[in-house]
Amino acid sequence: MRAAAADLWADVPLGSGVTLVECDANGLAALAKPEGVLSHPNGPRDLARSLVRAPYDKAAECFEWTDAAGAARWIWLINRLDSATSGLILAATDGAVAQEVRSQFQRRRVRKVYQALVFGKPRQSPETWRDILSVTKGGGRIRTSSQGGGLPAECRMTLVRSGSGPVRVSLIRLEPQTGRSHQLRVQCAKRGLPIVGDQTYGNFGANRAFVKGGGLKRMFLHSQAISLEYQFGGRALAFSAEAPLPAEFGQIA
């Protein structure tokens, strides 16, 4: 990333452990967040653990604050991750850029790659997973099910490596073609491959055994890479970024 592009983000109050991975001259950026950081605050109490430590306008989908010089500043959030998921999130310093990139997500023209540590081993690899999901939202909670829904979900799964310990875990690569809430977590669980540390759709007994055996207590889902093309200022532009896999994902016996 060029220094001039990075300057657009120099004074942004990034959250704890959040890093700027890539940024282009239009202010489009890929930020990498640790597990436990929120994509945006749901209220003042969440500022300390938010991607950007600033108030968030849900209607405009942007962070708002006043910098040291008294100038109003904005950062537009483009996509989101569950707080328990680590890795890449896109944001922009320009609202028009954010709108254009969001449209690429809606058209399914953004390539995303995740890595997940799961209990068990896929029966075949690679494999394309297709499901119909239902998503319910209420009381500040989201729940997704593979029963009785109407939302098509598709993902390409590839086995990276598998262990042979008493509790078998495997590292898999996931390339979602759709972006449903909790999609990857539910699709993994449905196939008997619950994500290690998933406290909602996972195997709770196996999670406890994993931690007792020396594993870290986190959900092992990581947004590793993202790439897309978008139009801005009359030009076709390409953008890509990658966030290294956290060291704890290497815990395969």
Q: Name the active-site residue from 46, 67, 82, 94.
A: 82
- Contact between residue 54 and residue 36 where contact means Cβ atoms under 8 Å apart: no
State yes or no: is 11 an active-site residue. Answer: no
pLDDT digits (tens, 9 = 90+) for 40-76: 998 889 999 999 999 999 999 999 999 888 899 999 9
Kindly report whether the peptide bond that precedes residue 41 is cis, defined as omega within 30 degrees of 0.
no
* Calculated CA dihedral for residues 76, 106, 87, 139, nearest 10 degrees: 80
Helix (H) or strand (E) holding 225: strand 221-232
252 pLDDT band, cuts 50/70/90, is: low
User: What are the DSSP calls for 3-38, one per residue?
Assistant: HHHHHTTTT--BPTT-EEEEE-TTSEEEEEE-TT-B
The DSSP code for 111 is E
4 pLDDT band, cuts 50/70/90, is: low
Helix (H) or strand (E) holding 208: helix 204-212
CA distances from 33 to 82, 162, 235, 240 (A): 11, 26, 30, 16
pLDDT digits (tens, 9 = 90+) for 161-218: 998 777 789 999 999 999 999 999 999 999 999 999 999 999 999 999 999 988 889 9
Walk me through the domains of the chain, giving residue ranges and CATH numbers: 3-107+226-248 (no CATH), 113-217 (3.30.2350.10)
**Rounded distance, CA 100 to CA 88, Å?**
18
Average pLDDT estimate for 240-247: 96
Q: Is 239 helix (H, G, I), strand (E, B) or coil?
A: strand
